[in-house]
Amino acid sequence: MERDATDTVGQRTELLIRGMDCAEEIETLRQVLLPLVGSEDRLAFDLLNSKLVVSMPTGCSEEMLVAAVATTGMRASRFDEETSNADRPRTVSLRSLLTIGSGVALLAGFLSHAILTGGALEALRGEGAGTQHLVPRAARALYLLAIAAGLALVAPKAWSAVRRLRPDMNFLMTVAVAGALGIGEWFEAAAVSFLFALSLELEAWSLGRARRAVSALLELAPPSVLLLREDRSRIEVPPSEVTPGSLFLVRPGDRIALDGDIVEGESDVDQAPITGESVPVPKVPGDEVFAGTMNGGGALTVCCTKAAGDTALAHIVRLVSEAHSRRAPSEQWVERFARVYTPAVMILAVSVFLLPVLFGAPAAPWLYRALVLLVIACPCALVISTPVSIVAGLAGAAHNGILIKGGVFLEAPARLRAIAFDKTGTLTEGKPSVQQVSGFEGHDADEVLQRAASMESQSAHPLARAIVEHAASRGATSEPASEFQALHGKGGTARISGRSYWIGSHRFLEERGQETPEVHRKLDELSRQGQSVVVLGNDEHVCGFLALADGLRSETRQALTDLRACGISPLVMLTGDNEATARALGAQAGVDEVHAELLPEDKVALIEGLADRYEHVAMVGDGVNDAPAMARASVGIAMGAAGSDAAIETADIALMADDLSKLPWLVRHSRRTLSIIRANVALSLGIKAIFVVLTLLGSASLWSAIAADMGASLIVTFNGLRLLRSA
């Protein structure tokens, strides 16, 4: 769709940037575009898709952006999904062909050089400048061909860097190659050209690997859907043509194409791609299903609730694709360090050449060492060490049912020292369930449950539904109740097997005058524990009671134990519920602190207090009611966000399933990500430090320096890509 992005403040313009292949090029673009847009916040870079999203300020036009990008040696055009995907293979293929051509020419030149003179072998041993024999013309021609192919995509960017007076890695490599040629190091010049081109190819491959991991999410949605017409006939159409409210059929074993509610049929659905749940989830009419999930053995008729572009899967793909543009602290540190590191090593290189020469040393050996230092100044391995890890970490979390909105939030859980939880729907199931059934006056628990279920089956009250569901799960059956009469705010009466029964609250029992001291004591004790009590009786006595409460999730206690094992304490519960209920449930859950009877502003104040004491604090809630507290916390985490657009939009991190056990996994994954990033940075800088020393001692060669940097790039890339695994 055509958009005019010339004047409107904040209007988004999406550009495809050809040639944006690494993090340093993003920094170059940021430098040239910042004067036009005025703020870094207006620029969002999507390295995976070679896309730039700009929030346009007044007075800035798309043409101005395209012209600014052109000054860097890269090219910009309006972003289009199909054009971008079609263009990318040709770009990668050209780079690959040039790299292969450079390598073949280097090998041929080396062989001819070695066979004819043996000089290439001396260069390979690192004996340095001035030691080679005269290079044969045939070898020179092949070396020049290797240089031309290796620098074909680098030289234009190097020239742009010269024009902007901002040296980058392309400029450093070009100067190193030119200097090597100037002192007769033909093999070294060709080797540096090829190895640098190969390192760029490997970097593009690593980004492609991360890109495919994100694209695999999008491919989870099938290309077509069986739409049901009004006459119940079927027609196969693309998901994009299905409107909310339409019915579609999902056959056994099919992947579900759209979000919707089941109208007919029962089945088990594998929701792992969306929620990360390890086992299929039983689905019945009225339940929600998500695009990208796999249907089991039953046919389902589903009513579409969201357009193809608004499904939970589409949200995940879009947010994961854009998330890495929100740079993590470690990523920002690496960028700041590279800005200082590169010019510092360049100054060192100039000094290494000039100072010895000024004191009468021969120029050629020291110029060679200076050129090696220029190669070492190339920050390839360093700048790729962090973004690849961040992108892989985000994609790995998404595959495990955790949606993280940026690198800054991927790192945040690793630093957490305290976590606050909402109670209802977070630590608990969010609905009442039967906790205890007791009988009196000779009635056993099964009999009380059967008769209570018979009466409550005719009521719509939440406690009544919980009793009926509990009876069904226990297989309890009895004669249906007749003559049921609801008593508003109290309970109800009915006849079962010809006898009158009543059911209701503790207050209803007191009104009937049938309460004994023993019953009063028991019901009072349960009330203090935060449980709601439903009493069953007949005209003569109390038959028994059922205690109900919003029970803990099955995984809550273990999840909190695992978090505490991760060193996170205190674990705090925040709730608007009454003090007695909150404290009873907090004791069951095993939290360290309980704060009850809170208003939303009270929760915010408590989060502020925790932040003052512990600095790094998370708030876990439903993403809507707890939004103010989540916004105040270091990181806001939403539970069960798969069916809630509001929860996804509100939180910094969204647990797509109602599964608290994902929280300890998230903390461990975040710490693993930070550990890998630090290891990558240490390795990159360590290798460079070693080569600085070797260069000053005269023991390093140009080709070995760039080969070591390429090797470091490979290691940090594969190390970062380990985060794609969700384990």
CB-CB contact of 250 with 294 (8 Å): no
d(CA 290, CA 66): 39
**195-199, 274-278, 339-343, 670-674: which has the highest mean pLDDT?**
670-674
Helix axes 329-358, 23-37, angle to 10 degrees: 100
Three-state secondary structure call for residue 325: coil
Which H helix or E strand runs over 506?
helix 506-512
pLDDT in tens, 698-710: 888 887 887 787 7
User: What pLDDT is stored for residue 685 in this prediction?
Assistant: 87
Q: What average pLDDT does the segment 578-603 reach? A: 85
Is pLDDT above 60 for 8? no
User: What pLDDT is stored for residue 91 in this prediction?
Assistant: 46
Going by their DSSP bridges, the two strands 300-304 and 260-264 should be labelled as antiparallel
User: What pLDDT is stored for residue 515 in this prediction?
Assistant: 85
* CA 592 from centre of chain: 29
CB-CB contact of 220 with 176 (8 Å): no
Residues present in the chain in total: 727
User: What pLDDT is stored for residue 249 in this prediction?
Assistant: 94
CB-CB contact of 546 with 533 (8 Å): yes
* CATH architecture of the domain with residue range 403-428+553-669: 3-Layer(aba) Sandwich (3.40)
CB-CB contact of 132 with 123 (8 Å): yes
pLDDT in tens, 89-118: 444 568 788 999 999 999 998 888 878 776
Cis peptide before 35 (omega within 30 of 0): no
More confident: 542 or 10 = 542
Residue 429: pLDDT band with limits 50, 70, 90: confident
Q: What average pLDDT does the segment 22-40 reach? A: 80
pLDDT in tens, 600-611: 788 889 999 999
pLDDT in tens, 317-373: 776 666 555 666 777 777 777 778 778 888 888 898 899 888 888 888 888 888 888
User: What pLDDT is stored for residue 645 in this prediction?
Assistant: 63
CATH number, domain 11-66: 3.30.70.100
Helix axes 702-721, 387-399, angle to 10 degrees: 20
Helix axes 169-182, 702-721, angle to 10 degrees: 150
Q: What average pLDDT does the segment 575-594 reach? A: 85
Q: Which of 368, 505, 535, 353 is nearest to 440 (CA)?
A: 535
d(CA 88, CA 646): 35
Least confident among 127-136, 144-153, 401-410: 127-136
Q: What average pLDDT does the segment 518-529 reach? A: 82
Single-letter residue type at 361: A
Is pLDDT above 50 for 3? no
Which phi and psi angles does 309 have, rounded to 5°? -80, -5
Q: Indicate left, alpha or beta for 623 from its phi (over 0: left) and psi (-120 to 50: alpha).
A: left
More confident: 103 or 135 = 103
**CB neighbours of 233 closer than 8 A, spacing ≥ 6?**
none
More confident: 544 or 161 = 544
Domain locations along the chain: 11-66, 89-214+322-389+679-724, 225-310, 403-428+553-669, 430-551
**CB neighbours of 205 closer than 8 A, spacing ≥ 6?**
none
CB atoms near residue 4 (< 10 Å): 11
CATH 3.30.1370.140 fits 430-551, yes or no: no
285 - beta bridge partners? none
CB-CB contact of 310 with 264 (8 Å): no
User: What pLDDT is stored for residue 324 in this prediction?
Assistant: 53
CA dihedral 139, 713, 387, 217 (to 10 degrees): 90
Q: What average pLDDT does the segment 460-473 reach? A: 84
Q: Which two tokens stand for residue 632?
A: 């105040």
More confident: 621 or 379 = 621
CB-CB contact of 543 with 441 (8 Å): yes
Catalytic positions are 422
pLDDT in tens, 205-262: 766 666 666 666 656 778 899 999 888 889 999 998 999 999 999 999 899 999 999 9
Task: Tell me, yes or no, if the pTM score tops 0.85.
Answer: no
pLDDT in tens, 84-97: 554 444 445 687 88
User: What topology does CATH give the domain 225-310?
Assistant: 2.70.150
User: What pLDDT is stored for residue 94 in this prediction?
Assistant: 80
d(CA 389, CA 330): 11
d(CA 255, CA 292): 6
CB-CB contact of 449 with 546 (8 Å): yes
Is pLDDT above 80 for 627? no
pLDDT in tens, 712-725: 878 888 888 888 77
Is pLDDT above 70 for 132? no
Q: Which two tokens stand for residue 285?
A: 């009419």
User: What pLDDT is stored for residue 702 in this prediction?
Assistant: 80
Which phi and psi angles does 438 have, rounded to 5°? -130, 145
pLDDT in tens, 295-325: 988 999 999 999 988 888 887 777 666 655 5
Q: What percentage of the chain exceeds 90 in pLDDT?
A: 20
Radius of gyration, alpha carbons of the chain: 34
Least confident among 467-481, 559-573, 634-648: 634-648
More confident: 363 or 643 = 363
Residue 415: pLDDT band with limits 50, 70, 90: very high
Residue 646: pLDDT band with limits 50, 70, 90: low
User: What pLDDT is stored for residue 82 in this prediction?
Assistant: 52
Q: Which of 431, 300, 621 is nearest to 290 (CA)?
A: 300
d(CA 387, CA 207): 9
